[in-house]
Each structure stands twice: as C-alpha cells, then as structure tokens.
C-alpha cells in the first residue's frame, strides 16, 4: 500500500504531509513536474506480459530504485494542485518553445489521467475538473439543504445594477477565481469587496470582466470547515471583531483575527456531507458564515484548499495530523500513531529550513485567499 502525492515544487502542504508520513514510516511518494523536462527526466513504462505492469520513474534510475513508482502498489492518490502547465524549459530553442511546452502538457496530463482508477482519489479527476464552478457549488449546496446567498454572476451592467438595487442590506463583489497581481516587490489580492454606487458608474468596466455579486450577509462570525472523508475539522474565525475584516477576513495579514476550534452542528454537518457526495469530493475546505439570525450560510468549497494556516494560527487544531490520518484511512493503511508530529515540528525541521523557509510567509499569506 502506497500513497501517491502529486503536487508542485513550492507547495508547503505537500511537503509537510510527506515529512509527517516519513516521520511515521508510511510508504508514499511525493512528485511534481516543476523541473521537467530539462532538469528532470520522467519515464512511463507499460508492459503486457503475464500481467499488465505500469511504473513511473522520476529522474534517472539509480541503484536503489527508490524513484521507481510501481502503480500496482498505489492505493491512494492525493491530487494536490499538480502544475501541468509551467515547466523548466531553459535551453529549449525559442522557436521550439510552443511545441515543447505542448508536448510537456500532454505528457503530464496523460500521466495523471493514466494513474490507477482503482485507487482512492483525493479528489477524483472528473470531480476535480468541475469543482471550481461557483455556480455549480451554489446550486448543489442549495439542493443539499444549505442556505446560500442570493447571487448574480454577470458582466451585464444593466443586470448588475438591477441586482444591486434589490439588495436592501448591501451587495458584495467576489472574483470567480483567486486574483493576484504582482507589482514591484509586492503582491496584490482581490478580496471580497462591498459594492458602492461609484463602482457601478462605468458600464464599460463592468462589461469587460464577469464577476460574482451577492447579497451582503450580516455576519456573527465565519467558519472554515475542512471535510476529510467522513470527518469535519472546523475553525471559528472572529471576522467581525475588526472593521477591516468584516467583509473578508483574509485581509488580516497581521494575524489579529481570533481563530479557535469549532464544532459544526450535526444537521449542518450532514448537509455538508450530502453536498460533498453530490460533488464527488473526498476532501475540500468549505467556507461558511453564521449570520445574525443564527443561520449557517454556505459560501464556497475550495476543492484543494489550504489548511495548514489554521494550525499555524491555532496550534490546538492539529490539522496536519488529521489530514495524514485521513490519507491513511483512504489508502487502507491501518497504522494509527499515538500522535502525529505537528506543524511546529515541521517548521523546526531541517527539511523545511532547506526547502521552504524563504517561501513560508508568501504561502501563508496567499493561503488565506484560497
């Protein structure tokens, strides 16, 4: 039994989980395509003798053969944001870049598509590809019995203005996917933003880009519910305690917003499980709001959402270990340690200091946008 983690080079989540699995000697492979093809050869071997055998080699085969992955041994696959579009192409002739990049994309996408269907996928490929649809999420959430905000997705200036005029409690704008801009030495992020009349004046600007417009929910607090197969690990976020985080707590780069463990009521947990079954997801990070009437309002599911920032902010929520437990359950590995190492152990490890230390602050800050 082996767990296969397919991620990207700079990802702290995949590396931390791999480190924790190593700590407990859980068999697994952590792979990525970031150095492919010029600095990392990858080989797929398929043979038909007495039985169909498939293997993948990341790098050159050495004496130990530790980098050979026999796919017959894989029982769970964590599809942790694999990067199949950006490659290491230094040395490739400029005239060949388009062709080589296309071949690399086809190769890596084909590798992932050819991984064993018999494994537990986190998450299954078809579900992975459509999970990001905000419209689909809201429809399925409502069908699962969850309360949702009144929503418009449009680039029609007239429809947007009509929608906003009907929302007596206010309207917020959200992007359809995480928006980042890099300017000089800083990164800019598009957060949830209250809509003002001034924003609606320029029809041309509204029509250039579609967006999500929702009724503004009067919040008591917010909840990040991490769905782990049959278990939900949640955090309560006191977003209303500060003026600048009332619309979007992710602007809290100074870590002042209080985060604490939270128990989702059974009725809401059942509806979340129903939603995740409809979406065919084994894992996801769900954003909820508790409104002033005491109702739980669904906002969205992040299909491969970030979760380590929760333990970084509130060590009492040991979600690194919870996630490793989840991976083991999915793969059929029955080993359960008395205690998994925690995130602070990883951050103090030699592995972290040599691979990810410089990117920690960037990842933790960007994690809150996802």
Q: 39-98, pLDDT tens digit by residue?
A: 888 888 887 765 555 678 876 655 456 667 887 788 999 999 988 888 889 989 999 999
**What is the signed CA dihedral for 343, 349, 351, 357, rounded to 10 degrees?**
70
**Whole-number pLDDT of residue 190:** 84
pLDDT tens figures, 284-335:
999 999 999 999 999 999 999 999 999 999 999 999 999 999 999 999 998 7
- Kindly provide the residue ranges of all beta strands, DSSP E only, lying in 203-294, ordered along the sequence: 211-215, 219-228, 231-237, 259-262, 283-291
- Let me know the angle formed at the C-alpha of 167 by 219 and 158, rounded to the nearest 5 degrees: 135
Q: How confident is the model at residue 38 (pLDDT cuts 50, 70, 90)?
A: confident
Assign residue 363 a region (left: φ > 0; alpha: ψ between -120 and 50; beta: otherwise). alpha
Q: Cis link prior to 37 (omega < 30° from 0)? A: yes
**Whole-number pLDDT of residue 180:** 78
Q: Please state the rounded mean pLDDT for residues 97-126.
A: 92
Query: Does pLDDT of 166 surpass 90?
Result: yes
Nearest one of 246, 365, 356, 240 to 312, comparing CA atoms: 365
**Whole-number pLDDT of residue 369:** 45
Compute how many other C-beta atoms are within 10 angstroms of the C-beta atom of residue 30. Answer: 20
Reduced 3-state DSSP string for 311-331: HHHCCCCCHHHHHHHHHHHHH
**Percentage of the chain exceeding pLDDT 90:** 64
pTM of the predicted model as reported, rounded to 2 decimal places: 0.90
Distance of CA 31 to the CA centre of its chain: 17
Q: How confident is the model at residue 200 (pLDDT cuts 50, 70, 90)?
A: very high
**CB contact at 8 A, 281 and 226:** no
Query: Does pLDDT of 364 surpass 70?
Result: no
**Whole-number pLDDT of residue 66:** 65
β-strands 42-48, 211-215 pairing: unpaired
Q: Of 138-147, 263-272, 358-367, which range is least confident?
A: 358-367
Q: How confident is the model at residue 185 (pLDDT cuts 50, 70, 90)?
A: confident
**Percentage of the chain exceeding pLDDT 70:** 91
- Higher pLDDT residue, 7 or 226? 226
Residue 63 CB contacts under 8 Å (≥ 6 apart), including other chains? none
């Amino acid at each position: 039994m082996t767990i296969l983690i397919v991620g990207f080079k700079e990802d702290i989540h995949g590396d931390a989980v791999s480190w924790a699995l190593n700590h407990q000697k859980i068999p697994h492979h952590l792979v990525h395509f970031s150095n492919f093809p010029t600095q990392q050869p990858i080989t797929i071997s398929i043979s038909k003798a007495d039985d169909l055998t498939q293997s993948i080699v990341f790098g050159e085969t050495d004496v130990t053969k530790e980098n050979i992955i026999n796919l017959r041994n894989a029982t769970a696959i964590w599809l942790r944001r694999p990067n199949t579009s950006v490659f290491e192409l230094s040395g490739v002739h400029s005239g060949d870049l388009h062709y080589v990049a296309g071949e690399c994309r086809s190769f890596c996408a084909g590798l992932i598509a050819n991984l064993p269907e018999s494994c537990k996928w986190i998450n299954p490929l078809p579900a992975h590809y459509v999970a990001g649809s905000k419209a689909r999420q809201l429809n399925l959430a409502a069908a699962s019995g969850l309360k949702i905000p009144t929503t418009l997705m449009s680039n029609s200036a007239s429809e947007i203005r009509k929608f906003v005029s009907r929302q007596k409690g206010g309207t917020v704008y959200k992007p359809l996917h995480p928006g980042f801009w890099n300017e000089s030495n800083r990164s800019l992020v598009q957060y949830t933003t209250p809509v003002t009349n001034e924003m609606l004046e320029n029809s041309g600007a509204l029509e250039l880009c579609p967006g999500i417009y929702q009724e503004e929910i009067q919040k008591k607090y917010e909840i990040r519910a991490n769905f782990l197969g049959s278990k939900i690990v949640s955090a309560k976020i006191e977003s209303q305690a500060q003026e600048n985080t009332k619309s979007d707590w992710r602007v809290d780069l100074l870590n002042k917003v209080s985060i604490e463990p939270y128990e989702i009521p059974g009725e809401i947990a059942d509806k979340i499980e129903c939603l995740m079954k409809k979406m065919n997801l084994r894992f996801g990070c769900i954003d909820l709001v508790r409104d002033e009437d005491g109702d739980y309002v669904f906002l969205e599911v992040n299909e491969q959402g970030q979760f380590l920032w929760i333990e970084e902010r509130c060590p009492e929520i040991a979600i690194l270990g919870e996630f490793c437990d989840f991976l083991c359950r999915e793969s059929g590995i029955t080993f359960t340690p008395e205690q998994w190492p925690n995130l602070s152990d990883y951050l103090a490890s030699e592995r972290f200091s040599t691979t990810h230390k410089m990117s920690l602050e960037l990842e933790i800050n960007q994690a809150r946008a996802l």
